[in-house]
Structure formats: C-alpha cells, structure tokens
Structure 1
C-alpha cells in the first residue's frame, strides 16, 4: 500500500542552529547530513511511497492542519539541538494531533537520553551497569565510592558529544576541572562512571513488545583494532573512523541479543532501538546505553547490525514502516 510519509528532520541550514544555538561549535554535527536524508527519501520512494519533507518540530506545528489532511505516517528523524527534552517535541505533537509516527514516545526518548536515570532504572531491573554518580552545576564534586578508572561525560548527549581520549581518569588529578568544563560547555549535569575496558558491542532491536526481535550484533573497531582500553570519541564519529565487525562468540552473541531485547521491552521502545554493551571481566556483559532514536544512515552501527537479518537497507526501512503501522492499527 502506498503511503504519504512525512519525513521530519532538522535542516542544518535553518538559521536557528546558527544564531540561537548554544553549546559546542560542532553541536549541529549530530543532525542528518544531506546525503543521509537523500538516501532515506530515495528508499521511501523506491518502496512506492510519496515523501513530504518537514523541517523539524516548528515546521510540523506550523503546517499541522495540512499535514493532518495529506500525510499518512510521520517518519521522525528529528534530533533537536539542545537540552534533555530536545527529542520530545515531534512525538508530543504527533500524539496531540493524532498523527501516527515511526519511533518511540517523547517520554521514552527523554528517559533514554538521561544517561544516569537509564543506568539506575536498568540496575533496578537486575542488569549489570557501571556504577555512576551525577554532578549538577553548582554541587560539590566528590567521587566517593567509585573505583578508578572512571569516564567523565555529559549526561544528556548522544553520538559521543563531549567525549575525547582525555575523558578517562585513573586518579583524582584533573577530574574536578574536567567536570566543571563539561558543565560549562554543555550547561547540563555530568556523569562519572566506572570505566569498563573490553570490546564494545552494539545490538539492533526492531519491532514492538512482545514481538520485538534483536536482529544483529556488531563490535566497534578503530584502525583495525577493537576498542578495548579506549573510548569512542566525538572525533571518531565526526570523521567516520569507526568500523564494525561481526563477533565470533556465538554463545555470547545469543546472550547479548537476549539482553538487548529485554532492555528494549523494559523501556517500552517503539519500532527500533540500539543497545550498547561492553564486555567486562571474564566477558561479563555490561550495559552502557540505549539509543531509542538510532542513526539509520547506511554506515551506522544500527543499520550494519540489521543487515544480518534483513540483507539490505530497503528491506530494513520497509520493515520499520510495516511494524510501525501494525503497532498503530494502520494498513500497510
């Protein structure tokens, strides 16, 4: 069935991102690149659908009456620009006006973006997570019972924003200054986590509970080596330095797939998500973070992992549309 799909994303050339944006100079680098938008549009058209481009939540709200009449389904790829609530607007507008949309709810996206709350929530459900403290601007900084080494990062960011090779600390020296600098740069709380050395695995999950499915696992590597005693930095993302490989330990892969599905369902993710883990001591599986709004560009870890199940990009996008329509009672 042919649909009219409204692709919502934040256009980089929008003046809002230049004049009014606060934060590091590269903050807009998390937005979709033109070639990524074109690939999604071409795929949707290849599947027989019409596409309407919508420039973020403000444009969606401005044109809401015509969009409600003309658009069948919103494909939400709006990432917002600042603050913890930046991803809530498109899902909230869609809910308010009864527009079906692909992806998770605003609540779900905001919870997952808050690293510390997600960490505490999943620990309460019995998942292994790094011990962590959160420091809000103006509070006393005391590492307390955390064991070194630790990693320092902004609480509300994604795509490794704020993370560099200097984000890992092996003693108290310099850590307070690093926390204060991130608080100043990002104007948000900072999380300090016990650093987990070991391979970093990323798992793609699709569908909706109880029928969701973890469909693939990839490990992250840089310059031909796994990221064991290092971190994935913002520069790695920006300059496309990260490559992915399929792990060989089938038993551990099965365990990882099962854990990712459980997390996807526990957080009530809609349609698709990505769960990241580190392999700790004795290959113990440690949850790191979840992306309820993962990148769907062809070279992303999410898409690379899904190819183990779907074979090509077009089949993946078709499945996301189909599972979203089924969840919302739409014909497809």
Structure 2
C-alpha cells in the first residue's frame, strides 16, 4: 500500500555556526521527489523548542535524523522519548530500541540471551567486574555508551591485565562511562543493513570495510581515523563484500535479523559484525537509525540490491507509516471496472467432459 502525500518535518541536530549535514538535505529532497511536503526542524539545546517547532510545522510525521542533543550523543534516546510522550509520529527506532542499542553492555547481554553469536566479554561498572565466557587476550576495550567510535583507538587493544585495568580507568575518567572489554576478533569487518518493520524486515547485501594497504603488523581496528579520515589510495574503504559462501551469508543475515528483532528496532538499522579467520560471524554492535547519507553503508547495500537512494528513503518512510496506520488503502474496483478488466471468454468448443478427481485426491 502506498504512502499518501504527507507533511513531513525532518528533525536534525544543528550546532551553531556549523553547516547543515548533507544527509538532511538529501533526505528532505528525496521526500519531496516522493510527493511529500518536507520542511526542516533544526534543534540544538532547547528542549521546549523541539515540540514547539514540530507543532508549528503542522506535520503528519517527523523523519527523525536527530542523533545528538546539547552536544551529547547519549541524548538521542531522550529526543525520541520526548516525541513519544507528546504522541508525535516519527521514523526510526523508539525509546526502547535506542536505549538498548546505545548501551553496548546491554546489547551484549541481550545478544547472549538470544543466543546470537558475539565475542566473549567482560563488563566494568567501577565497582564490580562481570565476565561472560573464557576471555583470552588480546581484548578490545570500549566505552559502554560511545558513538561513532568515540573512545576507540590505538590504546583500546590490550594484551594483559595491567593494560586492561589502565584502559578501564581512563574510560571512567575521560568519558565518565562504564567499560566493556571483549575478545578481539581478527578478521573481516562487515556491515548489514536491515530495513522495514520488525515483523518482516528486509536484509540488504553485505558491505565490507576493505582495510586496503594496512600494515600487517597493526591490528585492524575501525577507529575514528579509519571511519572519518580522508580516503586516499590504499586507505580503508567500503566495498560490497565478495567471496562469501551461501552458508556464511545465511549465518550473517540470520545474526543481523535476530539482533534487529531482539533489540526492538524498527524501520532501519545497521548491524556490524566481524568474520573470524575460521569463518565464524560475531555481532560487534547494533546501530539503530544509522547515518543515512547517500554514500553510507546502508545506501551502498540498497544500491547493490537495485534500490535507489530515493527508494531507500521511501522504504523507511513506508515502514513508519505502516506502524502508525497511515498507508493508503487501495480503492475497490466498481462492478463495471471489474467487468472491463476481466479477460474475454474464448468461443466455446465441444470437448470430452473432464473426469472428476478421486474423492481422496489432494490439491
């Protein structure tokens, strides 16, 4: 069922003095091409401004691109909670999904509970240490609630308990956060896009981070330099994953689907995995409402499946519209229209009567 023409407000974070992120204009223009009336709502640090601006826009739906609030990426979930309290309809995951996926410790615990393959890990909350599995060094240490690889770098990979303790203390001091340590999986890093309602989501083709001319003596860690540094010849870059057997592809897609459902995500997400040298996939992170720019992992996977960026935005919108009961119902054809559309009968010919099937025959 199609999405009827709607008034849609694109909600995004806009720090003072900075240019608008390209994804904002890309999504807004796509919505207009799809036949909707799109407006922009920029937010910074005013809580009341969010709902007031939404009310002034008189929109039917908010396309939520707000990943930060008041310079704090951890406030993304609060923006969604505010809209839920005000009964605002919006795209993407709600409070539950954002909260569960934002906390890497909660994510790991839920993955383990749902028997989704993930590396053995330990958690550090400043008081207690809790281990899950028989940990073996090297370990990679992350802040529990970081985003965009914040807190991940050269010091993140540790090879002994002394380095582990030091890194956990640094995370608590510098980022005021709990720490997660998990076994470092040396191997291929891949990303799987998932779009649509959690009941029947669609899995996009696998995208891989090709590390290019990486120093063989350095561990392949996707830190901020890798993700946001300038792309040069031989530097890490995103490619469509090749040489993945049907059996491995099935295991990767199953893990992504289970993670999407297990963490209560909706409309769209990106699941990050590592494929070990032994050929086993492990879920690293689950990203609700991932970056939707037209060169992102999600858009790359969609294009590989024959879906344009415009269609990708449309699928996300359709998923949200379906959740809120906003899809158009197909009009019932009148009797005259049905008659006109019906195939004309061929002139009858005499033939032998067809024997009736036996009484115990199955169709």
- TM-score band (shorter)? 0.7 to 0.9
| Higher fraction of helix | 1
Q: Provide runs of 4+ in structure 1 moved above 4 Å.
A: 81-85, 140-145, 224-228
Displacement of 1:72:
0.9
Query: What is the TM-score of this pair, normalised by structure 2?
Result: 0.79
Task: Tell whether 2:22 aligns with 1:12.
Answer: no
1:124-139 matched pairs, under 5 angstroms: 124-137=113-126, 139=127
- Seen in structure 2, the aligned counterparts of structure 1 residues 161 and 186 have a Cα distance that, compared at 3 Å, is same
Provide the C-alpha distance between the structure 2 equivalents of 1:221 and 1:33, rounded to a whole number of angstroms: 29
Instruction: Assess if the C-alpha contact under 8 Å between 2:13 and 2:42 holds in 1.
Output: yes
1:183-202 matched pairs, under 5 angstroms: 183-202=172-191
Provide the C-alpha distance between the structure 2 equivalents of 1:202 and 1:308, rounded to a whole number of angstroms: 13
- Seen in structure 2, the aligned counterparts of structure 1 residues 143 and 323 have a Cα distance that, compared at 3 Å, is closer
Partner of 2:155: 166
Query: What is the TM-score of this pair, normalised by structure 1?
Result: 0.86
Instruction: Assess if the C-alpha contact under 8 Å between 2:41 and 2:54 holds in 1.
Output: no
1:15-94 matched pairs, under 5 angstroms: 34-56=21-43, 58=47, 59-67=49-57, 70-81=58-69, 85-94=74-83
Instruction: Assess if the C-alpha contact under 8 Å between 2:51 and 2:83 holds in 1.
Output: no
Displacement of 1:34:
2.5
- Aligned partner of 1:298 among 272, 294, 298: 294
Displacement of 1:60:
1.6
Displacement of 1:110:
1.0
Partner SS for 2:161 = coil
Q: Please list the CA deviations of residues 225-280 of structure 1 after superposition, one character each: whole Å capped at 9, or x if unmatched.
A: 69994110012222254422222214112321222112212222111111111112
Provide the C-alpha distance between the structure 1 equivalents of 2:268 and 2:224, rounded to a whole number of angstroms: 24
Provide the C-alpha distance between the structure 1 equivalents of 2:302 and 2:295, rounded to a whole number of angstroms: 11
Instruction: Assess if the C-alpha contact under 8 Å between 2:116 and 2:258 holds in 1.
Output: no
Provide the C-alpha distance between the structure 2 equivalents of 1:71 and 1:233, rounded to a whole number of angstroms: 38
1:188-267 matched pairs, under 5 angstroms: 188-223=177-212, 229-241=219-231, 242-247=236-241, 248-251=243-246, 252-267=248-263
Provide the C-alpha distance between the structure 2 equivalents of 1:240 and 1:285, rounded to a whole number of angstroms: 29
Partner SS for 1:295 = coil
Partner SS for 1:282 = coil
Structure with bigger gyration radius: 2
1:97-136 matched pairs, under 5 angstroms: 97-136=86-125
C-alpha RMSD of matched pairs (Å): 2.6
- Seen in structure 2, the aligned counterparts of structure 1 residues 141 and 270 have a Cα distance that, compared at 3 Å, is closer
Provide the C-alpha distance between the structure 2 equivalents of 1:271 and 1:240, rounded to a whole number of angstroms: 30
